[in-house]
């Protein structure tokens, strides 16, 4: 049985240690044969660095390393000088440390390329000279591979002024690629975010963005076939449908894929289900953006973006849903071609992300560390139809929210806030929940569905008749055919007291 390549991001080490390697060289060959300049955005820990290393080995002419792989007898393995730039390690706090880091990276490349480190007054000038000297020394055009191109900006994204300064330095640095086109054979740039070309790659009009491209949908990640073949021994006797529910679902128009980190950790932990990918980094900035933008969480049920919106990410233009998509907390569930271009419907990719993300959101927006206990109690009360317990737990939940959550006009839409809190707590448990459930007479705030019971829930402020609205508009009619018990729940709250002042519950007789 082959070893698991946990923490290994170089092809040579994977092969030398007899680790499982998912062959991506067919895709690599397609890229090489069909173009020269590429950009790819994928979430963290998705295999971008390994793919870049695979390209490096191909262009370094190391044919024997590819024995047994698709590309082995289909490519000439001509050797080119490779400049490999990665901002993956270390933290960059300002433009000065960025420039120092770039110098270190270029010095490392000069050493590997057997050329002298040139001198220049600017980082861009230095980069240009390294490209020229590499070509002169080796007699071939240069291959440039850039990993984590955006990390210096993302590390400082909460400080807009500093992030802009770093962005401008990077923009000047990357502009060298355009000016050096006659000396370049191939370019591949990858990172997590998808900054607009205008803000970072101005002038690089020939940069082919393959982030949303059906042909390259599986360039990173594991497919279902990979699990059933390459990992067959490791996953013998396991429930593949459950694994798929937990870890599959990432989609960039083509076949959906698994996050490699999740699968490797899942196997190494004795096939125990857990939030392995999510737990490696708390999405603090995303949580702050959700709060700052007063984002109404049920909107995630119908997040739709056109292709321009997915391309418009920048320091001054951060859309919560686009941020969630780029960072892996949302994925493209389906696409629709219209007269105005492509529209993309976004959704949570899988069970791991759903449970973990909404658990973190529940903790953050309520400033509570007891969300798991409260969520579980709410769940049990609804599962067991113990509605007295439900009312008690719900009042305790909102009463526990700190006063300062209601100050500074953060919660100018009180109903939206109360619904968002409840939504997050329920989604953190994986409950079958429909937010803003459409009927022919309006939208239900939240519908919860269990095996034998349905709860139709409406939120209103200051005695505006939540239960009466459910009954008057007959929101329950669409569920009468399901032969389940139906409970109508009207939740009314007092914005001055900052808590629920009335919960009315009726069991529908049908």
Instruction: Please report, for the domain that includes residue 424, its CATH number.
Output: 3.40.1350
Strands 304-306 and 341-347: antiparallel
208 shares its domain with 357 = no
| 147 within domain boundaries | yes
> What number is the average pLDDT over the span 448-474?
89
CATH number at residue 83: 3.40.50
| 132 within domain boundaries | yes
Inter-CA distances, 452 with 369, 378, 455, 477, Å: 31, 17, 10, 17
Span 34-93, pLDDT tens digits: 999 999 999 999 999 999 999 999 999 999 999 999 999 999 999 999 999 999 988 899
60 shares its domain with 206 = yes
| 15 within domain boundaries | no
Q: What is the dihedral of CA 468, 474, 475, 481, to 10 degrees?
A: 140
Span 260-308, pLDDT tens digits: 999 999 999 999 999 999 999 888 899 989 888 888 899 988 899 998 8
Percent of the chain with pLDDT over 70: 95
Q: What is the dihedral of CA 450, 454, 459, 462, to 10 degrees?
A: -120
At which of 216, 245, 278 does a domain end?
216
Tokens of 343: 């529209």
| 205 within domain boundaries | yes
The residue with greater pLDDT, 76 or 437, is 76
The answer to whether the beta carbons of residues 410 and 294 sit under 8 Å apart is yes
Span 144-167, pLDDT tens digits: 999 999 999 999 999 999 999 999
pTM attached to this predicted model? 0.92
Tokens of 189: 């740039």
| 235 within domain boundaries | no
* Other Cβ atoms within 10 Å of 438 Cβ, number: 11
At which of 216, 244, 272 does a domain end?
216
| 261 within domain boundaries | no
Average pLDDT, the chain: 91
Quote the domain boundaries for residue 424. Answer: 351-507
- The kind and range of the H/E element at 507 are strand 499-507
At which of 179, 201, 216 does a domain end?
216
Plot region of 251 (φ>0 → left; ψ -120 to 50 → alpha; else → beta): beta
Question: What residues form DSSP beta bridges with 39?
Answer: 189, 209
Window from 104-113, 325-334, 373-382 with minimum mean pLDDT: 373-382
The structural domain count of the chain equals: 2
210 shares its domain with 355 = no
| 77 within domain boundaries | yes
The answer to whether the beta carbons of residues 335 and 253 sit under 8 Å apart is yes
| 282 within domain boundaries | no
The answer to whether the beta carbons of residues 252 and 332 sit under 8 Å apart is yes
209 shares its domain with 356 = no
Span 363-410, pLDDT tens digits: 888 876 676 788 889 999 999 999 999 999 998 888 777 655 554 444
């Amino acid at each position: 049985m082959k070893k698991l390549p946990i923490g290994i991001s170089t092809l040579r080490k994977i092969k030398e240690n007899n680790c499982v390697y998912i062959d991506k060289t067919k895709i690599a060959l397609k890229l090489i044969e069909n173009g020269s300049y590429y950009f790819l955005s994928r979430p963290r820990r998705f295999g971008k660095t390994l793919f870049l290393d695979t390209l490096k080995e191909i262009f370094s002419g190391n044919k024997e390393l590819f024995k047994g792989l698709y590309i082995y007898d289909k490519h000439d393995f001509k050797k080119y000088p490779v400049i490999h730039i990665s901002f993956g390690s270390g933290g960059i706090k300002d433009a000065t440390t960025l420039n120092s880091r770039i110098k270190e990276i270029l010095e490392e490349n000069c050493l590997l390329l057997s050329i002298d480190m040139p001198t220049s007054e600017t980082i861009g000038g230095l980069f240009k000279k390294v490209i020229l000297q590499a070509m002169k020394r080796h007699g071939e055009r240069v291959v440039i591979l850039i990993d984590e191109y955006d990390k210096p900006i993302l590390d400082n994204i909460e400080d807009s002024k500093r992030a802009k300064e770093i962005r401008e330095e990077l923009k000047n640095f990357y502009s060298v690629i355009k000016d050096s086109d006659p000396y370049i054979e191939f370019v591949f740039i990858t990172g997590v975010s998808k900054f607009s070309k205008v803000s970072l790659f101005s002038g690089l009009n020939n940069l082919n963005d393959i982030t949303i491209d059906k042909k390259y949908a599986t360039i990173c990640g594991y497919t279902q076939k990979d699990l059933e073949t390459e990992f067959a021994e490791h996953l013998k006797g396991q429930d593949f449908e459950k694994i798929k529910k937990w870890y599959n679902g990432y989609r960039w128009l083509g076949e959906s894929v698994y996050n490699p980190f999740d699968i490797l950790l899942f196997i190494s932990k004795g096939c125990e289900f857990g939030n392995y990918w999510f737990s490696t980094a708390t999405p603090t900035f995303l949580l702050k953006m959700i709060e700052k933008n007063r984002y109404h969480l049920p909107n995630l049920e119908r997040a739709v973006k056109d292709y321009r919106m997915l391309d418009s990410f920048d320091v001054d233009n951060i859309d919560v849903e686009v941020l969630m998509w780029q960072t892996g907390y949302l994925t493209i569930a389906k696409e629709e071609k219209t007269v105005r271009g492509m529209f993309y419907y976004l959704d949570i990719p899988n069970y791991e992300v759903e449970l973990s993300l909404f658990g973190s959101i529940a903790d953050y927006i309520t400033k509570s560390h007891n969300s798991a206990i409260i969520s579980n109690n709410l769940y049990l009360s609804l599962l067991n139809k113990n509605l007295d317990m439900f009312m008690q737990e719900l009042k305790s939940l909102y009463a526990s929210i700190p006063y300062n959550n209601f100050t500074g006009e953060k919660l100018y839409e009180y109903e939206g806030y109360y619904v968002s809190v409840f939504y997050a707590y329920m989604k953190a448990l994986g409950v079958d929940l429909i937010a803003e459930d459409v009927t022919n007479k309006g939208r239900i705030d939240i519908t919860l569905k269990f095996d034998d019971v349905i709860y139709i829930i409406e939120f209103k402020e200051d005695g505006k008749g939540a239960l009466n609205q459910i009954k008057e508009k007959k929101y329950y009619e669409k569920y009468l055919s399901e032969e389940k018990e139906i409970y109508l729940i009207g939740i009314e709250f007092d914005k001055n007291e900052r808590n629920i002042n009335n919960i009315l519950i009726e069991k529908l007789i049908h």
